[in-house]
Amino acid sequence: ISPLTEDDGFMVPHRAGQAGEKGRGIFATEFIAKGTPVLNFRQVATFEDGASIRRFLSKIPRLLACDYLYWAYTEWDEQAQRHFQSVDLDDSALCNDGRNKEDQNLGCDPEGSLSHGDVGCNKYSYATKDIQPGDELMCLYSAFSSGVEGANTLGLGWSADSYDD
């Protein structure tokens, strides 16, 4: 990360709080209009191969390594035609899964991304609908995570039995 910062990637007022059975979540504290950039990806650590992940995990305290393993997700890079693994290092790690497009309110908004010169939503995650104060910000994990299959292509040796989606 250059320059180094401890700022989180949220670009809108928000708060972390209890989200019922889901545990913690992120909530809007002001109205957010559809198409508004909500989150940048500045505080996301990305690893291109399993060896890099193992090296990183060997250098950090065991409890942090466990956090990494719990919160990391594997993605597919369409341009490079390969999987990579990421972990959010800010409040965005608390974004819960909307499970379907009807519940999702945070992700890629094609109109919003075009108006911000962000073709393909590579810079920001956008409000995909109007979000009211107090609404939980909900991602759609299936829009970016490739799960166990992706982790296995990185040589991480995870199995469906040990993976909790």
The predicted pLDDT at position 163 comes to 47
DSSP the chain: --S-----SB-S-EEEEE-GGG-EEEEESS-B-TT-EEEESTTEEEESSHHHHHHHHHHS-HHHHHHHHHH-EEEEETTTTEEEEEEE-SGGGGPEE-SSTTT--EE--HHHHHHTT-TTSSSEEEESS-B-TTPBPEE-GGGT--HHHHHHHTT----GGG---
The predicted pLDDT at position 94 comes to 86
pLDDT in tens, 4-45: 567 778 999 999 999 988 889 999 999 999 999 999 888 888
User: What's the mean per-residue pLDDT of the chain?
Assistant: 85
Quote the pTM value.
Answer: 0.78
